[in-house]
Amino acid sequence: MTTIGRSRCLLPAVALLVLTTVEPAGADDRASTLPVVAEYRYRMLAKVRPLLVWISRDNVGDGRITRRADGAGALGFELLVGSDPARAPWRINRWGYLAEQGAGGRATALGVMKQSNEQSIEEAEGRIAAESGSGTHLFKAIRSTTADGRTSAAVTILHVQNDLTYRDVESLLAMVRGSGNSPTRTVTLPAGIRPGFLLAVADLIHQSVENRTPPATATGSGGVRYVYNGNLYTLRLRSLESLATSRIGGRTFSDVVRGQFETANEATGDRTRFEITYGASGALAEVPIHIAYQPRWWFRVELFLTGV
């Protein structure tokens, strides 16, 4: 994991699906004590498309990206991102958290998210009404440990009486810790597999910055394979564009790279695309400045860097 160890990048794993790292049961507890070496804050812009025209609303939520390291090879990445019901249309509350850390041949991951699978605005409105009526809100937690060429993953569904927001992540993580042991699925991994989505993205971004030839516009990447929740994926850069300057979120940034990414489930062939613009040099090298993700045909979310 030497390449990962050099990278300073982090990206959303499951933006809007997904402060301290929490380990799966039985894992090494060192991750909770890794010092923070960098933290980045974001504001969220959401777009919905009821028919043919996109409707945008800015500042409807927040994001936080954290990097941890101990100087001895252990490295952790974390993402917390979500909408704020007080600011979001229809008081939508969708958020997620993902933490991954690795040291040597061992790695752990924890993801929690507000469960949602709506395929239309009408379904989203119906889900919100149903949750309000029943007083029960569903959250999903995914925990995994990778070591000795194998990964073990467990999924827990939590039924929560309060509609927790991303600000309540610590309370939800405490519930995950107290939920007991869920059935686990163990998978043997091929050589060279990255033990998590965030670690794979960090690696690929690092490669793109180190190997680019400005002002190139090409993929030049065979992809990075990784495991998430016991499933194998391949992450690729579909295109890469170097920009001398770029106006993003009301600010001007110099020497940035805009990458179009695609991740594919190797078993099902399902593909997900997203875009990241990140620094190529200086203090923001390999740091996401703008992230865009469209999980549904009618819904798109963007994150803009606001503070370091």
pLDDT tens series, the chain, 308 aa:
333 333 344 333 333 333 233 333 333 333 346 889 999 999 999 988 877 888 899 999 999 999 999 988 888 999 999 999 999 877 888 899 999 998 888 999 999 998 665 554 555 555 555 656 566 888 999 999 999 999 999 999 998 988 899 999 999 999 998 887 788 999 999 998 999 999 999 999 999 999 874 434 444 456 899 999 999 999 999 999 999 999 999 999 999 999 999 999 999 999 999 999 999 999 999 999 999 999 878 789 999 999 98
Beta bridge partners of 194: 226
Would you give the end-to-end CA distance of the chain in angstroms?
26
Total tally of structural domains belonging to the chain = 1
DSSP 8-state symbol, 23? P
- Other beta carbons within 10 angstroms of residue 147's beta carbon come to 15
Among 257, 253, 256, 248, residue whose Cα is nearest residue 45: 248
Which range of residues forms the domain containing residue 52? 2-307
Exposure string of 4-42, with b = 16+ CB inside 10 Å and e = fewer, is beebbbbbbbbbbbbebbbbbeebbebbeebeeeeebeb
Q: What ranges in the chain are assigned the alpha helix state H?
A: 2-6, 121-134, 169-177, 197-211
What's the predicted TM-score (pTM) here? 0.84
Helix (H, G, I), strand (E, B) or coil at 159: strand
